[in-house]
Amino acid sequence: MTLTNVFTKTTRDRWKGEAIGAVTLALLFLFAMAVYRDIDLSVYTSLPEVYRTLVSIPADADLASLSYGAIFGSYGALTMAGMALAMGSASVAGEERRGTIGLLLDNPKSRTSILISKTAAMVFLTGLGTLFLWGVGLIAPEILNVSIAGMHVGALAFHMFMIAIFFGFLAMAIGAWTGSPGVSAGVTAGVLFISFVGAGLFPIIEGYETVAKAFPWYYFNGSQPVNNGIAWGHIGVLLLGIVAFAAIGLIGFNRRDLRDQTSGVTLVDRLRANPMTEQFADRLAGSARVSHIWTKTASEHQGLLLVTAAIMFLMMGVMMGPMFALIDDALAGMLEGFPEVLLALFGGGDMTTPEGWYQLETFGMMAPISVMVATVAIGTAALAGEEDHRTMGLLLANRISRTTVVLQNVIAMVVYGFVVGVAIFAGVAIGSLLGGLGMSVGNIAATSLLVTLVGLVFGGLALALGAATGKPRVAIYGTVGVALVLYILNAFLPFNDTFAGYARWSPFYYYLSSDPLINGMNWGHGAVLTVLAAGLIALAVLVFNRRDLRQTG
C-alpha cells in the first residue's frame, strides 16, 4: 500500500460525510438568507453599534447578511470543526479501535508517512468543504438579490477552514497518544464547546474581555473576518497550534506501542490497575461489568461520558450562575432590544433574566448537543459499529435474540442520556444557588428532563439508521444532518405566519417552546418526545430483525 493509497482510501471513505455536511449547510444558508431578507430593517437599525459589530454586520449591508453570522459564523464553523474532529480522532485511534492498524503498518511505509497521509486527507476534504461554502456564500446573495457590500466572505471561509483543522489536528494528536477514539473525540469536543462559549461570553462581561483570547474560537471570529478581512495574526496563532499538534501527534504515534485489536483497555480497567483507585473502580463497575451487553457498551464509552458530563456540570452549569451576576445594568438594558430572530438561533429567551440567560447560554444549544453526543455515540456504535468492527457475529453466536441485542444497547443509551441530563440539572441548580439567582429547582429539572428526551429521540434515530444500513457513517452523519436541519427550521419557521405551524414537526419544538425554565414541565410535550424516541427504537428492532447482517468488511 503506497502513501497515495492511504490518502486516497481515507478520502474515499470520508468524502460523503463532508459532502453531506457542506450541502446541508449550503441549503440552510439559502433558507436563512431568504428569511432574513423579509425582516423589518428597523429591528436591525435600532440596535447599538456594538451589537451590529457583535453579529458581524457592517452599517452599509443588508439585514439578510445576518445569515453569514448565523450559519457560517456559528453552525457552519461548528459543523466543519466537528467533521474535522471526527476525521482526526479516526486517523490513528480509529484504526486501532477497528483492529486495522496492523494492516497499514504491514506495508513498507513508516508510521510518519501513514499519519501524514491521514492528516492530508483531513485537510483536503475540509478545504473542499469550505471552498464549496465560500462559493455558495457568493452565489446565494446574487440569486436572492441581497446586498453584501463591504463583506469579506472569502476571509470568513478561510478562518472557518483554519479553526476546523485546528480541532482536527488536536483530535489526531490525542488519538495518537491514547489510541482511544472515544477519549480523542470527547476531549476535543469538550475543548471545542468550552472555546465556543468562552469566546462569545467573556467579551460582553466588563473587565473580562481579554479572557476571550485564551480560547481558540476567539481566533476564528474575534477579528470579525467577514467585516475586516483575514486577520493574519489570528491565523498565525491557529497555525502555530496546528503545527504543535502535528508534532505532538507524530511523536506519540512513533513512540507508543499500538493496539492491533478491537478490544482495548477501558477507563475503568485503568483505574483498577492503580492501587489508589482500584476500590472505587470496582464499585463503579460492579461485580459483573461485562456480563450484560448494555454494561459492555457503556464501558466502551466511559471517557466520552465523563468529559461531556463534567463540561456541562462545571462550565455550562455551575460557572454560568456567578457569571450572570457580572453582567452590569447598562449591558442588561441593551440586551432587551436584541432582535428575537437572532436569539431564537440559540434557544431564545430574555438575557436580562436568570432563566433567559441559562436558556441562551446552556439549554438552547449546548445542552442538546451534549446529550446527543452521548446518545448518538451509543446509538451509532450499538449496531452499525458492531457490524463495522465485524464483531456482530460473535455477539449473536450467544443464545440471545437480535431484539435483546437492540434493547440491551438501548439501556446503555438511556443511562448515558440521563447521566448527562442529571449533570446539567445539578450544574444549573448549583450555579443558580451560587449566583443567588433564585431559579426554580423544579423548572430546572423539567428542562433537563426535556433535553434528555430530545437526546434520546436522536439517539433512537442513530440506532434506527444503523440497524437499517449497518454503516456507522450513515447513522452518525444522517442523524447529525437531520438534527441540524430540524433545529434551524424550528428557530426560523415561527417568524413566518404561513409556515409557523410546521415547526411542530421538529422535536426541538417540544423542548423549549413552552418555556419550561419559567413555566415548568409540559407533560404533553414530554409525552410527544417519549413516543418519538420509543417509535424510533421500535423501528430499529423491526429493521434489525429483518435485515441480512454484514459479517465481513
d(Cα 479, Cα 462) in Å, to the nearest integer?
Answer: 6
Q: What is the pLDDT of residues 380-391, one digit of tens each?
A: 888 777 776 666
**Amino acid identity of 95?**
E
* Residue range 71-78: mean pLDDT, rounded: 80
According to DSSP, residue 548 is labeled: P
Q: What is the pLDDT of residues 28-65, one digit of tens each?
A: 788 777 766 655 544 554 555 445 544 545 555 555 56
d(Cα 43, Cα 63) in Å, to the nearest integer?
Answer: 9
Q: Is 229 left (phi over 0), alpha (psi -120 to 50) or beta?
A: left
d(Cα 383, Cα 141) in Å, to the nearest integer?
Answer: 43
Structure confidence at residue 219 (pLDDT): 93
d(Cα 533, Cα 526) in Å, to the nearest integer?
Answer: 11
CA 397 and chain centroid, separation: 35
Q: What is the largest CA-CA distance in the chain?
A: 70
Query: Which triple of cell numbers denotes residue 226?
Result: 467577514
Structure confidence at residue 3 (pLDDT): 46
d(Cα 170, Cα 165) in Å, to the nearest integer?
Answer: 8
Domain boundaries, the chain: 1-11+72-134+150-263, 265-291, 301-548
Structure confidence at residue 344 (pLDDT): 55
Examine the pLDDT at 375 and tell me if it is beyond 70: yes
d(Cα 477, Cα 485) in Å, to the nearest integer?
Answer: 12
* Residue range 168-197: mean pLDDT, rounded: 84
* Residue range 268-281: mean pLDDT, rounded: 56
Decide: 391 and 552 in contact? Cβ < 8 Å.
no
Q: What is the pLDDT of residues 412-471, one digit of tens each?
A: 899 999 999 999 999 999 999 988 888 999 999 999 999 999 999 999 999 999 888 888
d(Cα 365, Cα 79) in Å, to the nearest integer?
Answer: 13
Q: Spell out the residues 6+ positions from residue 323 whose beta carbon is closer than 8 angstroms to its own.
A: 201, 205, 435
Q: What is the pLDDT of residues 126-150, one digit of tens each?
A: 999 999 999 988 888 888 877 777 7
Compute CA distances 402 → 28, 152, 405, whole Å: 38, 54, 5
Q: Report which of 224, 71, 83, 85 is spatially closest to residue 152, judged by C-alpha positions.
A: 224
With bands split at pLDDT 50, 70 and 90, how would you rate the model's confidence at 550? Answer: low
Examine the pLDDT at 248 and tell me if it is beyond 90: yes
Instruction: Tell me what percent of the residues of the chain surpass a pLDDT of 70.
Output: 74
Angle between helices 232-255 and 111-144 (to 10 degrees): 150
Structure confidence at residue 165 (pLDDT): 95
With bands split at pLDDT 50, 70 and 90, how would you rate the model's confidence at 553? Answer: very low
Mean pLDDT of the chain: 78
Structure confidence at residue 72 (pLDDT): 82
Query: Which triple of cell numbers denotes residue 199?
Result: 469566546
d(Cα 11, Cα 18) in Å, to the nearest integer?
Answer: 10
Decide: 380 and 353 in contact? Cβ < 8 Å.
no
257 vs 111, higher pLDDT? 111
With bands split at pLDDT 50, 70 and 90, how would you rate the model's confidence at 290? Answer: very low
